[in-house]
Amino acid sequence: MADLIFPQLSSGAMVQYPIRKRTDIRTVKNLLADGTMFTAADPGASRLFWTLTYLDLPLLDLEALRSHFVACRGPFRAFTFLDPTDNLLTYSADLTQSCWLTPAGLLVQAGIADPKGGTGAFSVTNASAATLHISQTLAAPANFQYCFSVYAASAGPAMCGLTRSSANAEQTDAAQIGPIWSRISSSGVLNDAGLGISVGISIAPAQTLTLFGPQLEPQFEPSRFRPTYSNAGLYPNAHWADAELIFTAEGPDLFSTSFNVEAGFRD
C-alpha cells in the first residue's frame, strides 16, 4: 500500500468527465524455424491507463495535484488511485468471500433472484439477539467523499442501515425497505484524516434481508452497479505516466491540465 494518495478535488469529485480508460495487453509470440507460431498472454505486462482532463480548476485543486506530483517525484514513486469509473469493493458479486466480514450469527445464502433478472442476490439472516453487520474494510482515505449503495429487499416492511466508518468516525443512514427491490445509499465525508474505511450493512435480530450489488464509489451518488471479483477499483501501486505536469491558466484562479495515470492490471 503506497503512502501517497491521489487527491480528491475540493468539490468532492474524484475527477472531471469525460475520462478515457484503456487496457494494454501484451501477447508473446514464438516463431519456430518451420513457421509454426506459439502465442501466450503475458499477464504481468498488462497495464491500465487513465487519461484525466481538468478544466476551470481553482488554485486550491491545482496546488493539490502539483503537490502530489512533486511528492511522487513524477513517475518515480507509487501512489494509491481510486478509479472513479469502478466499484472499490472486491467481490461485490459474492458476499460469501472472506473479504466480507460476517460475524457468527449471520447466515448468508447465495443463488437468490436479483433485480437484474439473474440469481446473483444473497439472503442474509441474523440468527443472534443483537444487530450485526456484514462489512468490508478498504485501505483508502477515510475523509474522501464516498457513496455506499446496495439493492435491498425484505419479505415485509423493515429498516436497512448502511454504515461508513473509520478508526475515529462513523455515519449510519437507514432506509425503509419491503418486498420490492430498493437501491439505498449512504453518502458523505467522515471527519477522520486517517487511512482505512469500512462499509457495512446492518441486520437486526431475527431479520432476513435480501441483498444485491453493494458498491462503494468516490462520489456523491450511486452509478450503475459494477460487479467485481478479486480485482476492483482500488489500485495501491499506481504511477504518474507523464514525466511533467503542465497547467494552462484560463483566467483568474482558473486552470486546465491533462495527464495520464497507469497501474498494473492485477495490482
> Residue 245 in contact with residue 3, Cβ under 8 Å?
no
pLDDT at 10: 95
Could you give the count of Cα atoms lying within 13 Å of 257 in the half-sphere of its Cβ?
20
> Residue 256 in contact with residue 54, Cβ under 8 Å?
yes
pLDDT at 44: 66
> Residue 209 in contact with residue 153, Cβ under 8 Å?
yes
- Give me the residue spans of the domains in the chain: 20-85+234-264, 106-217
pLDDT at 267: 45
pLDDT at 42: 66
pLDDT at 24: 75
* Residue 27: other Cβ atoms inside 10 A: 9
Set of cell numbers at residue 168: 475515529
Averages of pLDDT over runs of 10 residues in the chain (267 residues) are 86 93 79 76 78 96 97 96 96 97 96 96 97 97 97 96 96 96 97 96 96 97 96 95 95 95 78
Give dist(CA 162, CA 77) in Å, integer.
35
Report pTM. 0.90
What's the CATH code, domain 106-217?
2.60.120.260
Handedness of CA 201, 1, 15, 61 (dihedral sign): positive
Q: CA dihedral in degrees (225, 230, 235, 239; nearest 10)?
A: -120
pLDDT at 161: 96
